[in-house]
Structure 1
Amino acid sequence: MARPSTAHLGVDLDKAGKQVGFISIPHSPHEDAWGAVRIPICVIRNGSGPTVILQGGNHGDEYEGPIVLGELIRDLDPATISGRLVILPAINLPAVLAGRRTSPVDGLNLNRTFPGDPAGTITQQISAFVSDVIFPIGDMFVDLHSGGSSLNILPSAIIEPAPDPAHRRRNVEAVLAFGAPLTVVIDNLGEPRTSTACAVRAGLTTVGTEMAGAGTVSLDALKICRQGVRNVLAHAGVLLPAAAAPAAREPEAILKIPGQAGFVFATADGVFEPCHPLGTMVRSGQEAGRIHHLADPSRPPETLRYGADGMVYGHRQPGRVVLGNCCAVVASPYEGSLD
């Protein structure tokens, strides 16, 4: 049951055809006494079939997902689907408009607020609406991310772990159907406040992505994302299989970020120089990069080392770092159970 909320939904979730409207959440900043944050939403429904929720713009500096979902809203004919699509192309609208990871309204990271608070700040109200109103009608949730402006990540589809073996298998099968070049298990060190973790708790088959990043739009990642979304919709039975490309992926190809050891953090302020391009196979203890102290050339650079064996999966994008910034990420072969 949805918690009491002042959010207003401007579309009918049960109506056939295509509707484009807004989720309006009252917002009264200094500049606007009776304003609202208007989050775009599209519902496309035809016949019987599952409900797939597609979300982009969870972080406002991640662009491939919102672009692909905007194209889907404009181009998809309701007659070509069987079921219902609920498309949220810019769910964290204040952050999307600002091109920022966190909301300029309250400074919060939407993906660390689920299941939200309908009486909280704007970001908390957004996650509460998704948790209380959107997730309960869904069968599958697809959350499209990239590395944003602070990280460049190899384009990949992401498995959100599920404690139930049957649910875990559904997640794995849907992620493999996406057909990305890499498949990676990411549990965010057990973080329960992400949208995908919340979707899993709600029982939804859950698919995530990391589509490059670096604060730009990657043409390669955009191509992967466009086809991957259609692949997973065909896998769900909502879209005709002819719209998808066969995704021949084997479970052995799955990687995982191996906990804290998979992250290389800055040990000082300075400028980070990586030692290896993305995709390089590295060993624990091997030099990962150096942090240079440009204001003090007599001071030798700090040496950073990998804490795990595996593939260099992500790099810090801006050269300048401060203590604690994530400079590199390693993904190792996944050795857990898929069943």
Structure 2
Amino acid sequence: MRHPAAPRPSSAFLTVDLEQPGRQVGFLRIPHSPHDDAWGVTQVPIAVIGNGTGPTVLIEGGNHGDEYEGPIAICELIRELDPARVQGRLILMPANNVHAVIAGQRTSPVDGLNYNRTFPGDPRGTITQQITAFVTDHLFPIADAFLSLHSGGSSLDIMPSAIIEPADDPALRARNIAAVQAFDAPLTVVISNLGDPRTATAAAVRAGLVTVGTEMAGSGTVSPEALAICRRGVRNVLGHLGVLPPEDASPRRGDGRILELPGSAAYVFATTDGIFEPFHAKGTEVRAGEPAGRIHCTWDPRRPPETVTYQADGLLYGRRQPGRVRPGNCCLVVASAYAAALT
């Protein structure tokens, strides 16, 4: 049994009652006083669908404002799901990084922060930090499971996949793997974000929640294929957890294979300023040391292009979307066979 710490003092408040059965749609409101609004609030949309007894599942989208499939799927659940089919409680948040969602960009235009690098947040910090603090202090402690629905955003095009967040506790790791495999995406990938502890999924694992992530295509567009995978996968996980009837889940399609991003070797970073030319399509099997692409400096034709190479064997999992790069930009991502034990 989890024993969460007392929540930190906060001025944020809800317009919905998390304990009331049925369907409610409202907002998490945080006092916000910019130049043009002396006593305004930032409004983060939140819905609660509760019925009977069962687990509480928190589902977020809009963690980054340029990732679209997850938020669409969550909004459809809010409007269309019959509360009578639910056993337990769903807390649905389709636009957590709300200012970024409205702007259609990865980070918040209000404070410049990446919501997914601010956990556990600060209830007396900037707007983004206050949102993550509320999730950390008030929602994680009452939840049993957490789904964080991502895509590649404007800068990456990623093969649609369900994501395992690493967990040190063997029992939680096994539950996470089972839930992610129940999502039944075309690929299942272990991603540690280079060990960064400030992400939503890392924070959820620390809180002891069964945790499922996704990467649903990207390129700053909506992929119909990835959206269909996301819609189906969310219901599959909810059926797996017992919140929806088993018949709401789809027949298993995947082969159970698990890949991982093997640390820093997974990434091909830009080494110079220029325009990136990739050599391979997503899904291509590649090898460490093989040329991955070239960076051209077209404004100085005297300079020959600079070749970058893969650092790991595996599947070309993601490619940068904009051609323009600067040193340190992520150009390519390779997913390798998962070497660790599954339990």
Same fold (TM over 0.5): yes
What residue identity is the alignment partner of 1:179? Answer: D
Aligned to 1:33: 38
Task: List per-residue Cα deviations over 1:223-247 (Å, max 9, x = no partner).
Answer: 0000000000000000011111122
Residue of 21, 25, 30 corresponding to 2:26: 21
**Helix, strand or coil at the partner of 2:160:** strand
Q: How does 1:182-261 map to 2 (within 5 A)?
A: 182-251=187-256, 253-261=257-265
Which amino acid letter does the alignment assign opposite residue 140 of structure 1? A
Partner of 2:50: 45
Q: Which aligned runs of 4 or more in structure 1 are off by greater than 6 angstroms?
A: none
- Out of 293, 300, 313, the position equivalent to 1:296 is 300
Name the residue aligned to 1:322.
326
Distance 2:255 2:7 in 1: 39
Which of 171, 182, 185 is equivalent to 1:180? 185
Q: Distance between the aligned counterparts of 1:149 and 1:319, measured in 2?
A: 12
**What is the alpha-carbon distance in structure 1 between the residues aligned to residue 288 and residue 86 of structure 2?**
48
Give 1:298 shift.
2.4
Calculate percent identity across the aligned residue pairs.
67
CA distance in 1, matches of 2:170, 2:252: 22
Within 2, Cα distance between the matches of 1:297 and 1:89?
Answer: 47
Equivalenced residues, count: 338
Give, in angstroms, the shift of residue 296 of structure 1. Answer: 1.4
Is structure 2 residue 316 aligned with structure 1 residue 312?
A: yes
The Cα offsets for residues 193-235 of structure 1, whole Å up to 9 and x where unpaired, read as 0000000010000000000000100111000000000000000
Report the counterpart of residue 14 of structure 2 in structure 1.
9
Indicate yes or no: 2:279 matched with 1:275: yes
Structure 2: distance between partners of 1:191 and 1:243: 35
Residues 101-155 of structure 1, C-alpha deviation per residue, up to 9 Å, x if partnerless?
1100000000000010000000000000000001011010000000000000000
Q: Specify the SS of the correspondent of 2:276.
A: strand
Displacement, 1:338? 1.4
The alignment's TM-score, normalised by the length of structure 2, stands at: 0.98
Q: What are the ranges of 5 or more consecutive residues in structure 1 without an aligned counterpart?
A: none
Q: Describe the superposition over 1:283-339 as per-residue Cα deviations: whole angstroms up to 9, x where unpaired.
A: 000011011111112211010100000000000000111111000000000010111
Between the aligned partners of 1:138 and 1:237, the Cα distance in structure 2 is 14
Q: 1:104 aligns with which of 109, 119, 123?
A: 109
* Secondary structure, aligned partner of 2:154: helix
Whole-angstrom CA distance in 1 between matches of 2:239 and 2:85:
11
What is the CA RMSD across the aligned residues, in angstroms? 0.7
Structure 2's unaligned 5+ residue stretches are 1-5
Partner of 1:135: 140
Tell me the TM-score normalized by structure 1: 0.99
Cα deviation for residue 249 of structure 1 reads 4.1
| Mapped partners of 1:88, 1:298: distance in 2 | 52
* Aligned twin of 1:84: 89
Distance 2:252 2:296 in 1: 43
